[in-house]
Structure 1
Amino acid sequence: MSQPIPALSHPCPAPGRRRLLRAAAGWPLLPLLPLFPLAACTGQPAFASTFLQVWRSHLELGQAQWHQRLKAVRALGCGEIVIQWAAVDGEQPWQIPDALLDFLFDDAGQLGLGIRLGLPYDERWWQALGAPDDATLPRFLARTRARSLTYAEQARWPGRSNFRGWYIPYELEQHNWGTPQRQALLVPWLQSIAAGAAPRPAISTYYSRLPSPGTLEGLWAAILGQVAVRPMIQDGVGVAGLDNYRALAPLLALLRERKTSFDLIVELFQELPSERQDGTTFKAVSADLPRLRQQLAIARQTGARQLVAFALDPWVIGESPQARQLLEAWRELG
Structure 2
Amino acid sequence: MQAAALAACLPLAACESPVALAGTFVQLWREHLDWSREQWQSRLAATRKFGCTTIFVQWVAIDTQNSSENHDWAASDTLLQGLLDDCAQLGITVHLGLPYDDRWWQVIGAADVNALDAFLASTAARATAWMRAAAWPRHRAFGGWYVPYEIEQYSWADAARAQRLATWLHTLAEVAKATSTRAPTLSTYHSRLAAPHANATLDGLWRTLLAHADVHPMIQDGAGAEGLGAYTALQPLHDLFVAQGVPFDLIVELFENVAPHGAPPQNGNAGFAARAATYARVQAQWKIARDYGAQRVVAFALDPYVIGDAPGAHALRDAWRSALR
The two structures have a TM-score, normalised by structure 2, of: 0.87
- Contact (CA 8 Å) 1:169, 1:203: kept in 2 or not? yes
Give matches, 1:209-220, under 5 Å.
209-212=192-195, 213=197, 214-220=200-206
Q: 1:74 aligns with which of 48, 67, 80?
A: 48
Q: Which moved more, 1:95-104 or 1:282-291?
A: 282-291
2:259 & 2:143 partners in 1: Cα distance?
Answer: 37
Match of 2:62 among 78, 83, 88: 88
Higher RCO, 1 or 2 (CA under 8 Å, sep at least 6)? Answer: 1
Cα distance in structure 2, aligned partners of 1:45 and 1:70: 19
Gaps of at least 5 residues in structure 2 are 1-16
Q: Distance in 2 between matches of 1:44 and 1:117?
A: 28
Matches within 5 A, 1:303-318: 303-318=293-308
Give yes or no for the alignment of 1:243 onto 2:229: yes
Indicate the larger mover: 267-276 or 209-218: 267-276
CA distance in 1, matches of 2:153, 2:162: 10
In structure 2, the residue matched to 1:141 is 120
Letter in 1 for 2:290: R
| Contact kept? 2:57, 2:97, Cα under 8 Å | yes
Report the equivalent of 1:167: 146
What is aligned with 1:265? 251
Q: Does the 8 Å CA contact 1:105/1:160 hold for their aligned counterparts?
A: yes
What are the superposed Cα offsets for residues 34-78 of structure 1, whole Å, 9 maximum, x if unpaired? xxxxxxxxx876110100001011111111101111111111110
Q: Distance in 2 between matches of 1:189 and 1:333?
A: 44
Give a deviation string over 1:194-235, Cα, whole Å, max 9, x none. 000112100110000101130000011111122100001100
- Paired amino acid for 1:292: V
Q: CA deviation at 1:285?
A: 1.3
| Aligned residue in 2 for 1:207 | 190
**Is the counterpart of residue 118 in structure 1 residue 104 in structure 2?**
no
**CA apart distance, 1:301:** 1.7
Structure 1 residue 315: Cα displacement: 0.2
Equivalent residue for 1:284, pick from 274, 279, 285: 274
Amino acid at match of 2:27: Q
Question: Is the 1:204–1:233 contact (alpha carbons within 8 Å) kept by the matching residues of 2?
Answer: yes
What is the percent sequence identity of the aligned residues? 46
Letter in 2 for 1:207: H
What is the alpha-carbon distance in structure 2 between the residues aligned to residue 237 and residue 63 of structure 1? 33
Q: CA deviation at 1:299?
A: 1.4
Assess if the C-alpha contact under 8 Å between 1:265 and 1:309 holds in 2.
yes
- 1:48-59 to 2 correspondences below 5 Å: 48-59=22-33
Paired residue for 1:155?
Answer: 134
Paired residue type of 2:114: A
SS of 2:187's equivalent in the other structure is strand
For 1:243, what is the secondary structure of its paired residue? helix
Cα distance, 1:162 vs. partner? 1.2
Q: Read off the aligned partner of 1:180 and give its amino acid letter.
A: A
Q: CA contact under 8 A between 1:230 and 1:262: conserved in structure 2? A: yes
Q: 1:298 aligns with which of 279, 288, 291?
A: 288
> What is the rounded CA distance, in whole Å, between the counterparts of 1:272 and 1:168 in structure 2?
27
Q: Is the 8 A contact 2:44 2:87 kept in 1?
A: yes
Q: Give the distance between the partners of 1:291 and 1:70, measured in 2 at CA.
A: 25
* C-alpha distance in structure 2 between counterparts of 1:50 and 1:179, whole Å: 33
Check the 8 A contact 1:274/1:283 in 2, yes or no: no
Instruction: Give the counterpart letter for 1:288 in structure 2.
Output: T
Amino acid aligned to 1:266:
V
Give the match's secondary structure for 1:297: helix
2: CA distance, partners of 1:331 / 1:77: 11
Q: In terms of mean alpha carbon deviation, does 253-262 or 219-228 score higher?
A: 219-228
Distance between the aligned counterparts of 2:18 and 2:119, measured in 1?
43
Which of 1 and 2 has greater Rg?
2
Give secondary structure in 2 for the equivalent of 1:329: helix
Return the offset for 1:281: 3.4
Displacement after TM superposition at 1:293 (Å): 1.0
Q: TM-score, normalised by structure 1?
A: 0.85
- Count of aligned positions: 292
Distance 1:86 1:280 in 2: 21
Give the conservation status (yes or no) of the 8 Å contact 2:24–2:52. yes
Give per-residue Cα distances to partners, 1:70-99, cap 9 Å, x unaligned.
111111110011000011101321110011
